[in-house]
Amino acid sequence: MRTKTQHTSIACAACRSQSQSLFNALHKDQLTNISENKSCTVYRKGQILFHEGTRPLGVFCINQGKVKVYKLGYDGKEQIISIAREGGLLGYKALIAEDTYNVSAETLEDCTICFLPKSTFLHALQNSSSFNERIMKQVCHELGTMSEKLTDQAQRSVRERLAITLLKLRDTYGIDAHEDGPIEINLTRDDLANIVGTATETLIRLLNEFKKDGYVTTKGRKIRIEDPSGLAKTANLY
């Protein structure tokens, strides 16, 4: 794997992802300040942005590409908490809570990602009440999502969880779709299993069932969702 990091330069105002980013709560001049203080790096697939247990020095903003955010179980198995994509902000929770990172982040593909030093981020948080509100809202909402994930993990079968996961991944991978072509999920079976919270072999077997049932098709590693409502029914989603 090539690991040499490459730097580049992108103005926030020109960032394709800016509109869907949390930073869109900032005024123009505040955004300019952010833009002038950040650095921008091209990462190769498989590079680590930060490691669980270390102390945050700033936040990461994804300009391009996807990143998996995961936690290691006591036996070293990854539990993927979320897949972040363009416009996603990473590492700010640990920063705000003054905790060490409790998750790790690794690029799933070649990525362009900006880094914003701690002081700049916290300054924006203190000086822009709209930005503060935006973050607060986001974080509170995310807690609701986590309660739901926890409940699903505790109560639903692997089959149901896989169906739900595939449906949710449509949003994550929808952005890549060319002009309302079909959405393809490009993840290793291992990563998919670590989202669902199951063994890789179990995941593969269930995926085959879904193929037989006509819910999905696969081409190599890529999974294409063919019948969302079939999946929703399988998942017992109301």
Partner DNA sequence: TTCCCTTTCTGACTTATGTCATTTTTTTCC
Partner DNA sequence: GGAAAAAAATGACATAAGTCAGAAAGGGAA
Counting contacts by CB under 8 A, is residue 54 touching a second copy?
no
Counting contacts by CB under 7 A, is residue 148 touching DNA?
no
Q: Where are the alpha helices (DSSP H) in the chain?
A: 28-37, 92-97, 118-127, 129-155, 158-174, 189-196, 200-212, 228-234
Counting contacts by CB under 8 A, is residue 57 touching a second copy?
no
User: Shortest approach of DNA to residue 111 CB, angstroms?
Assistant: 14
Beta bridge partners, 64, equal 112
**Residue closer to DNA (CB basis): 12 or 192:** 192
Counting contacts by CB under 8 A, is residue 179 touching a second copy?
no
Counting contacts by CB under 8 A, is residue 201 touching a second copy?
no
User: 189-196 vs 200-212: helix axis angle to the nearest 10?
Assistant: 100
Counting contacts by CB under 8 A, is residue 25 touching a second copy?
no
**Residue closer to a second copy (CB basis): 80 or 113:** 80
Counting contacts by CB under 7 A, is residue 197 touching DNA?
yes
Among 58, 198, 225, 235, binds DNA (CB under 7 A): 198
- Quote the longest CA-to-CA distance of the chain: 55
Counting contacts by CB under 7 A, is residue 51 touching DNA?
no
Residue 14 interacts with, from DNA, a second copy, none (CB under 5-8 Å by kind): none
CA distance 195 to 224: 17
Among 52, 205, 226, 228, binds DNA (CB under 7 A): 205
The secondary structure of 105-131 as a DSSP string is EEESS-EEEEEEEHHHHHHHHHH-HHH
Cα R_g (the chain), whole angstroms = 19
Number of Cβ within 10 Å of residue 159's Cβ equals: 18
Residue 32 interacts with, from a second copy, DNA, none (CB under 5-8 Å by kind): none
CA distance 169 to 69: 14
Q: Give the pairing type, strands 39-43 and 222-225.
A: unpaired
CA proximity to 106, closest of 167, 187, 37: 187
Counting contacts by CB under 7 A, is residue 233 touching DNA?
no
- Per-residue x/- track, 94-133, a second copy (CB under 8 A): x-xxxx--xx----------------------x--x--x-
Please identify, among the stretches 83-91, 95-103, 151-159, 177-185, the one whose residues bind DNA according to the rule CB under 7 A.
Answer: 151-159
Counting contacts by CB under 7 A, is residue 217 touching DNA?
no
Q: Interface residues with DNA (CB under 7 A)?
A: 1, 157-159, 188-190, 197-202, 204-205, 207-208, 218, 220-222
